[in-house]
Structure 1
Amino acid sequence: MYQTEISGDYLYHTTSKGYGSSVELFGVTEDGETPMSLLNIALASCVTMCLQSYFNLYHKISEMPVKVNAIYDNRAFQLTIRLQKEIDKDEKEKIVAFVKRKCRVSQLLADDVSLMINFVTNVY
């Protein structure tokens, strides 16, 4: 179970009270984080943690630099995963399948919202 309390004090402004530091949200990105940017952050963070879990589970690698860039536009999330390690097409497919099974944030997306995952390797 997850729970939070949200307080709104003026138009398009909220503050959360949950686990850890409060999060302040606005109606437009020019002012700070928005509900949509938090969804983007949540999805990219969940995918990053799934990647860490995958490499720990299947390769016994507990520390590996990973960067995930996430863009949302027109009912589509496009994620670019940047890895230091070179991986082949078969491994990429296994990772994507693992993410789809394990990422609870992606499982909450509506059926008509697409999730595209691309890889860039040998970076850092």
Structure 2
Amino acid sequence: MTVIKQENKEFGIFNQMGKQVEGAFAPNSKGLSPIELLEASLGMCIVISLQRMFERDGITVLDHEFSVEVSAKKALEGPSRVERCKVAVTFPEHFTAEYKKKLIISAERACTIGNTLKQGVMIDIEETI
């Protein structure tokens, strides 16, 4: 469970371990905006999936050799929503093209956040008493 609440005039994002991230109302400011959090959720899910595959395959990847970048694009028309997410994965140079393709296909299948975004999710908003 995640809780968003205001403390000291800032909105914090908390899990059971306490405050983890500061929320922001606009992108590229102190804290993360909702779109940036969505991008981070998708990117982190892909990172976790790929990291598990590296471990399964006995491959050590150095910090500077691997990254995931996610860019979300809002729809120009219709209800306010994200229309598309572009995910760019940087792999170590020594990985073969075949292995990179296999990793991307597997990560796409394994990522819970990506699968949820593709299929949609029911959202129930209610007031607590």
Please state if 1:16 is matched with 2:19. Answer: no
Tell me which residue corresponds to 1:4.
Answer: 2
Q: Alpha-carbon deviation of 1:17? A: 2.2
Q: How does 1:1-124 map to 2 (within 5 A)?
A: 3-8=1-6, 14-22=11-19, 23-29=21-27, 30-57=29-56, 59-61=57-59, 63-65=60-62, 66-74=66-74, 75-111=83-119
Segments of 5+ residues of structure 1 without an aligned counterpart are 113-124
What is the SS of the residue equivalent to 2:117?
Answer: coil
Q: Alpha-carbon deviation of 1:107? A: 1.4
Which has the larger Rg? 2
**In 1, are the aligned partners of 2:13 and 2:22 still within 8 Å (CA)?**
yes
Q: Alpha-carbon deviation of 1:24? A: 1.6
The 2-side partners of 1:98 and 1:8 are apart by 39
Q: TM-score, normalised by structure 2?
A: 0.67
Q: TM-score, normalised by structure 1?
A: 0.69
The 2-side partners of 1:10 and 1:60 are apart by 46
1:77 maps to a residue whose letter is C
Structure with the bigger RCO (C-alpha within 8 Å, sep 6+) is 1
CA RMSD, aligned part only?
A: 2.6
CA displacement 1:25-52 (0-9 Å, x = unmatched): 1210234311111111121111112111
Segments of 5+ residues of structure 2 without an aligned counterpart are 75-82, 121-129
1:25 maps to a residue whose letter is G
1:88 maps to a residue whose letter is T
CA displacement 1:77-97 (0-9 Å, x = unmatched): 112211224333432332122
Identity of aligned residues (%): 19
Count of paired positions:
107
Q: Alpha-carbon deviation of 1:21? A: 4.5
